[in-house]
Chains A and B, each alone.
Chain A
Amino acid sequence: MQYLSDNQNSMETIKLTIDNKEIEVPKGTTILKAAKELGIDIPTLCYMHLEDMNIENKPAGCRICVAEVEGRRNLAPSCSTNCEERMVVKTHTTRVLNARRTVMEFILSDHPKDCLICAKSGNCELQSMAHRLGIREIPGSEYAEMSTYREDTSPSIIRDLDKCIMCRRCEMMCNEVQTVGALSAINRGFMATVAPAFEQNLEHSTCTYCGQCVAVCPTGALTEVNHVPNVLRALADSTKTVIVQTAPAVRVALGEEFGLAPGTLVTGKMTAALRALGFDYVFDTDFAADLTIMEEGTELLDRLSRHLKGDTTARLPILTSCCPGWVNFFEYYFPDLKDVPSTAKSPQQMFGAIAKSYFAEKIGINRKDLVVISIMPCLAKKYECQRDEFSVDGNPDVDYSISTRELASFIKQANIDIKNLHDEEFDSPLGESTGAGVIFGTTGGVIEAACRTAYELYTGKKLERIDFTELRGMEGVRETTLDFNGTPINIGIAHGLGNARKLLNDVRSGKSKYHAIEVMACPGGCIGGGGQPLHHGNSEIIKARAAAIYAEDKNKPLRKSHENPFIIKLYEEFLGKPNSEKAHHLLHTQYFDKKKKIIIKH
């Protein structure tokens, strides 16, 4: 007998029987969860529960998880049916197995049969379920009509709604978790699907490209735009020097695509693989993260000290601005607060700007012959590097961004046996980073990195404790007050745009008490990004990646951005000092009002 801790408040428990096994569970437990405790894994399709993030999708729509309940005429969806006293449940009678097969056949009868060339093949929950259920034919497929829709490509996300099974996960993420509301279920019956308003293209909606819809889609309906062919072309072009930068969140997840356990750190192997792919220089976005801290930390301290002196023009709180999904969000929903976020560019973009100026000069190459590729856990980065302001005379600072998933595919295509490569190091000078740069990959990491530097620069004292554990964790909104040698600094942290909205509403109404707020659009931070290996609903994977990030940080000899000797050199040789005219021109940006306006005819 097992006790579940789902419902701590009500200690009222229920005894029931599942597959002839007795179990006692707290009131409110579903059949699905109770069965799991007994080691019975009832198959599910639309159901998804990211437990550590409090995100649950249970529309009871697919009917795959049905089970027989004695005394009930119809089969019950186990994900949404609560256990009752003396209930007798059977999870694999002939009736259940037949029903489940029939449900599956119906779903597949209106689904394209292109597994061989689908981007999700091998990683598709529908495909896995068809395999698990032993489907060998789809009755009526010779004459059955299929519901087809116009395909839609945006800078980051491809929508192929022929493959949608109406699980509603994307709609739930977009509306309930991210509160962006770009997607909604539309129409009814056969033509029911999920689309942006007026079935316009995603790029004309309020989509922020956070990619959380892609991260949870069980089929090939939502996938990322694939830039691997562009990267391949650049590598094959002998007139180009191709540089790659890798985000921190990539190295703690890439291994999963090759069967390694979640949270396995593959930094050295990733670097070796990138070199084997033919990149001329393998650099590290973490270097640019250290640079971001220098610029943003300076900005924070400037606003803070002016504020403490009574300067009312000093805008607080300062908001982090490295997340392009988050930037899109506040440009759509909070353009009135455009002057609140930091003006610092993201590490990806700072890297591109420095690579195509400082580094290009160093190796004597024209920026037009330099191609900068980024490997990101993120789909919004594909959009970010195309923003007009991030280019010089039409030449972008970052040419293409590819996701962790695309990199894994590329490595497989190139026959590189990554698991057996010897660890290699990043190249210099844009590959050297401190632990503060690494922790950018997880929620709380950016602000912790900023505090490590801000504390020492503000107080002039050395930090006794480098690990700001009070800033860490998975709760959606976190807050703490740090003591900067007598000055209390209030920090707010949000991950998931819905949580960010809460903090922004307070900033707008003047109620916000924070000096600095870190926002990451994706639940978990970048480690849970839209371009990462799919978690298929298991939040333990995200937690394992976070643990690996902090482990890499701890093992670094240098853990504060301002101590990075190559950053110090960059300022001495090239930029002068943080927010110098040159630094401001290369490393800072502005934001735009993208709020949808009602047009009135006069």
Chain B
Amino acid sequence: MSHIKIDLRKEDVDFIKGVCASYNNDTQELINVLHSCQEHFGYLPAEVQEVVSEGLNVPVAKVYGVVTFYSFFTMTPKGKHPISICLGTACYVRGAEKVLDEFKKELGIQVGESTQDNKFSLSSLRCVGACGLAPVVLVGDKTYGRVAPDDVKGILKEYE
């Protein structure tokens, strides 16, 4: 796991503490707090988790446990255009792995990584519920259906 070190500014700490306070510093609201923080920062580096831990009086190990358990939470920044390939059952049997391999090849990154210029990041998903369109690829909010490995170059070109 590549851990990025960041420097927190006072306004960052204040923001996080503010979110915790808006939930009454209730330990049970950890997931909601993490959602708000990820929306604001784009990701949840260790330094942010430490402030959340202090704000909600939850051990930082537990915060880390929740962050790593849910695939939505990420400790590395997502690219400007986050690409998610669905590997659920329908997509999988219709060749989603080959599509994933093509994205890996074109971008030169592994699942969970971002490109050098932070333009694209790659992740895999479980079923998004659009099985009729399998294999499904999401780029940001846009959904692509019936994606074949040959379509990958074209999709990436749209974000040039």
Interface residues of A (CB under 8 A from B): 175, 180-188, 195-199, 205-206, 596, 598-602
Contacts and interface: CB of A to CB of B under 8 A. Distances in A.
B60 A197 contact: yes
B62 A181 contact: yes
Contacts of A180: 59
Interface stretch (B47-55, B90-98, B109-117): B47-55
Residue with the greatest number of chain B CB neighbours at <10 A, chosen from A188, A197, A205, A596: A197
Interface string B39-53: 000000011011100
B65 interface: yes
Nearest to B7: A601
Given A186-B69, A600-B10, A600-B13, A206 B59 contact: yes
A197 B9 contact: no
Nearest to B71: A188
A601 B9 contact: yes
Given A186-B69, A187-B69, A196 B61 contact: yes
B63 A197 contact: yes
B89 interface: no
A181 B63 CA distance: 10
Contacts of A199: 1
Contacts of B9: 600-601
Contacts of A198: 3, 46, 49, 64
A196 B63 CA distance: 11
A597 B49 CA distance: 13
Contacts of A184: 59, 61-62, 64-65
Contact of A197 (B8, B51, B61, B69): B61
B68 interface: yes
A418 B1 CA distance: 49
Nearest to B1: A199
Q: Which 3 pairs show the lowest CB-CB distances between chains A and B? A: A181-B59, A184-B65, A601-B7
Contacts of A181: 58-62
A185 B65 contact: yes
B59 A598 contact: no
5 contacts: A180-B59, A181-B59, A182-B59, A184-B65, A188-B68
Contacts of B7: 599, 601
Contact of B50 (A175, A185, A596): A596
Residue with the greatest number of chain B CB neighbours at <10 A, chosen from A186, A199, A205, A596: A186
A398 B13 CA distance: 43
Contacts of B62: 175, 181, 184
A197 to B, nearest CB: 4
Given A175-B59, A186-B68, A196-B61, 8 more contacts: A181-B61, A181-B62, A186-B64, A187-B68, A198-B49, A205-B61, A596-B60, A600-B8
Nearest to B49: A197
Interface residues of B, number: 23
A91 B1 CA distance: 44
Nearest to A183: B61
Chain A contact residues: helix, strand, loop or mixed: loop
A453 to B, nearest CB: 39
Nearest to B64: A197
Nearest to B51: A598
A599 B8 contact: yes
Contacts of B51: 598
A147 to B, nearest CB: 14
Contacts of B61: 181-184, 195-197, 205
A181 to B, nearest CB: 2
A198 B64 CA distance: 6
A453 B49 CA distance: 49
A424 B69 CA distance: 56
A209 B30 CA distance: 27
A232 to B, nearest CB: 36
A222 B141 CA distance: 45
Interface string B51-87: 1001000111111110011000000000000000000
A574 B38 CA distance: 63
Contacts of A188: 68-69
Contacts of A599: 7-8, 47
A201 to B, nearest CB: 13
Given A598-B8, A598-B54, A186 B59 contact: no
A458 to B, nearest CB: 40
A183 B59 CA distance: 9
B104 to A, nearest CB: 20
A598 B50 contact: yes
Contacts of A600: 8-10, 13
B30 to A, nearest CB: 12
A199 B61 CA distance: 9
A182 B59 CA distance: 7
B142 to A, nearest CB: 28
Residue with the greatest number of chain A CB neighbours at <10 A, chosen from B59, B60, B63, B69: B59
Contacts of A602: 10
Nearest to A205: B61
A602 B13 CA distance: 12
Contacts of B3: 198
Contacts of B65: 184-186
Nearest to B9: A601
Contacts of B8: 598-601
A197 B53 CA distance: 11
Nearest to B58: A181
Contacts of A183: 61
B16 to A, nearest CB: 10
B123 to A, nearest CB: 15
Interface string B19-47: 00000000000000000000000000011
Residue with the greatest number of chain A CB neighbours at <10 A, chosen from B7, B47, B62: B62
Contacts of B49: 197-198
